Amino acid sequence: MTESRARRARRREDDRPLILIVDDDPDLLDLVGEVLVERGYRVALSRNGEEALDSIERDVPDLVLLDMRMPVMDGWTFARHLRERHGRSIPIVVMTAAEDSKLRADEIGADSDLGKPFDLQQLHDVVEDTLAE
Amino acid sequence: MKIKTKLLLSNAVFLVVTMVISAILLVTYQRVPIKLEQSEQIHHIVRELFTLEVALKEYRFHRLPRSVRQWNASTRRLEIYLRDLETNFADPALVRAMLDGHDEIDALFATLPATPVPTPSTLEQRVSDHVEAKLHDMLLWSQMLAFDIHAQLEEAHRRANVLVLSFAAGIVLVMLGMQAFFQRTILRPLGTLERGARRVGYGDFEHPIPRRADDEIGHLTGVFNEMRDNLRQLTRAREEFIAAAIHEIKTPVAVIKTSVQFLQQFPPEQREHRLPQMLERLDRQCNRLDRLVTDVLEVTRLDLRKMELRRRPTDVTALLGRVVAEMQNVTPRHCLVMTHAEEVSAEIDADRIEQVVYNLIDNAIKYSPSGGDVDVSLRKEGDAVVLSVKDRGIGIPFAKQQRIFERFYRAHAGTRYEHAASLGVGLYLSREVVRRHGGRIWFESREGEGATFFVRLPLVATRTEGGP
């Protein structure tokens, strides 16, 4: 595990954590990306689970912000594929408009949840806390 | 068995029972007048026997010549009465004995001198003694007959009473049986149906009403269960619609909220270069929110049959151009191509037709995930304008084509093309709007080969339109 982290770090150009954002709404996707870049993270944007899996092949993120209901491949399927390939090494934060975001998060064994609409501060706290763990 | 059959059957049973009992009663009572007649005849017979006795006494002791005439007249009447009685079946042995007795005394009396001589002979004494004795015998027999008939009359009365009572009891029993029968086969299933209907009324759509029989009530139960099924589906669809609407509203709110909070982080001079993009985004999401709320409102209005059009002369070409431009901003992967031969103006409800066009282009984008051209065209056809939106997406499976205009129906639910952004009302609302314009909406599609939706709207509003 330590080795793979080290390898990952070496491959990167810099040490800023990479956050993969998966959401089917382009505006929200861009906005959250912009917010996190401003905060000093690197971001990758995907519009559905399939795109997100491709993105992970190219660059392994330190955190995934995941919407659940998406066309082509939804959050549940994506999370299953991610766990199959990478175990629990990449933390997932479920980002959903569903009433019971906690329950959705538990369903896929996510590390945390963020109910839409969220406060900017909440977003930063959750991302920082999850990365720190 | 049908209730109609049951009713007919029970009526038949009732009729048969009544007829049988009535017949028995009738036969029994018919015997009574015969007995009464017999009883009267015996009365006559006794009288004639007394007349004969008087005539005999007058012959024997008073030696009156007229007594022979009296005897003869009376004895003829007696014979007639006896023969009558014989044909009427009074105790035949006794009647026979009396007839024999009558013949005997008549024959004996005939041996006496036709005019009584002053001093009777010993033979005459003996003959008349014998006749007198026989007369007494006959009186005794007629008494016996009278008793017998009386007893028979009593018996007939007793029987009739028993019959009337059992007739009443039989009717009561048949009525009770029918009551129980209908209780079991009609009232109880009706009760079950009522309880089931009440449960459905209280919103329990899960339990089907048990169907007990294959009759009218069973049929009605089937209809009720069908209704319950439809209600359940509609309620579930409505719940899903509300959940989806809430879910949908949250995303633009999230974008708006995050955008505003993000901008607030910066001092005014640092906001400047971010503003154009942010405002554009905010505008888009506000429009989206507006459309969502309108959708929900329109569905409610349609439910309440309150949708009214505000038709004004509108530049349809410009309207279409606006929507196409706005939608092009949302999708980087699709190329929206608009073609039109001429400027077209029509009397339409601009807001609602804009919503229709928006829905059609939105669907075209949503269901062509790999991108491609979306052709939007407009042309005049006689006194109508025809719009079309053609995509090169996934198309509509044949099996689902029938239902896509249904309220809350989401053709791609459960497939990989299911969209969170689908409320299942877009096409339904579009069809209702177009119909109220007196127009028509239809489509051509093959699975995997995209879909083309057409909307035909009359250029001028006529008075008959606008109703549901």
Contact B317, B343 (CB under 8 A): yes
Could you give the CA distance from residue B242 to residue B240 in angstroms, rounded to a whole number?
A: 5
Token digits of residue A60: 């392994």
**Is the Cβ pair A32, B258 closer than 8 Å?**
yes
Nearest Cα residue in chain A from B248: A97
A30, A38, A67, A116, best to mutate vs chain B, most B CBs in 10 Å: A116
Query: Long-range contacts made by residues B132-141, C-beta under 8 angstroms, separation at least 24?
Result: B132/B53, B132/B56, B134/B101, B134/B104, B134/B105, B134/B108, B135/B49, B135/B52, B135/B53, B135/B56, B135/B105, B137/B101, B138/B49, B138/B98, B138/B101, B138/B102, B138/B105, B139/B46, B139/B49, B139/B50, B141/B94, B141/B97, B141/B98, B141/B101
Alpha-carbon gap: B346 to the closest alpha carbon of chain A (Å) = 35
Contact B456, B356 (CB under 8 A): no
Residues of B in contact with A118 (CB under 8 A): 254, 257-258
B117-125 average pLDDT score? 85
Could you give the CA distance from residue B139 to residue B143 in angstroms, rounded to a whole number?
A: 6
Contact B347, B312 (CB under 8 A): yes
**Is the Cβ pair A117, B284 closer than 8 Å?**
no
Q: Which of B262, B265, B369 sits opposite A71 (nearest CB)?
A: B369
> Who's near B109: CB < 8 A, 6+ residues apart?
B56, B71, B75, B127, B131
Could you give the CA distance from residue B375 to residue B365 in angstroms, rounded to a whole number?
A: 11
Pairing of strands A92-96, A63-66: parallel
Contact B138, B56 (CB under 8 A): no
Buried b (16+ CB within 10 A) or exposed e, A67-87: bbbbbbbbbebbbebbeeeee
Contact B101, B138 (CB under 8 A): yes
Unique residue bearing structure tokens 């800023």: A16
The enclosing H or E element of B363 equals: helix B350-366
Give pLDDT tens digits along chain A (133 positions).
444 555 555 455 567 899 999 998 888 999 999 999 988 999 999 988 889 999 998 888 999 999 888 878 888 889 889 888 888 888 999 888 776 667 777 777 788 888 888 888 989 999 999 988 7
Could you give the CA distance from residue B419 to residue A52 in angstroms, rounded to a whole number?
A: 17
B246, B266, B331, B416, best to mutate vs chain A, most A CBs in 10 Å: B416
**Is the Cβ pair B261, A119 closer than 8 Å?**
yes
Q: What is the pLDDT of residue A86?
A: 85
pLDDT digits (tens, 9 = 90+) for B372-423: 899 999 999 989 999 999 999 999 998 888 888 888 787 777 676 766 566 7
Alpha-carbon gap: A63 to the closest alpha carbon of chain B (Å) = 20
Alpha-carbon gap: B289 to the closest alpha carbon of chain A (Å) = 13
Full-prediction pTM beyond 0.80?
no
A22, A23, A25, A37, best to mutate vs chain B, most B CBs in 10 Å: A25
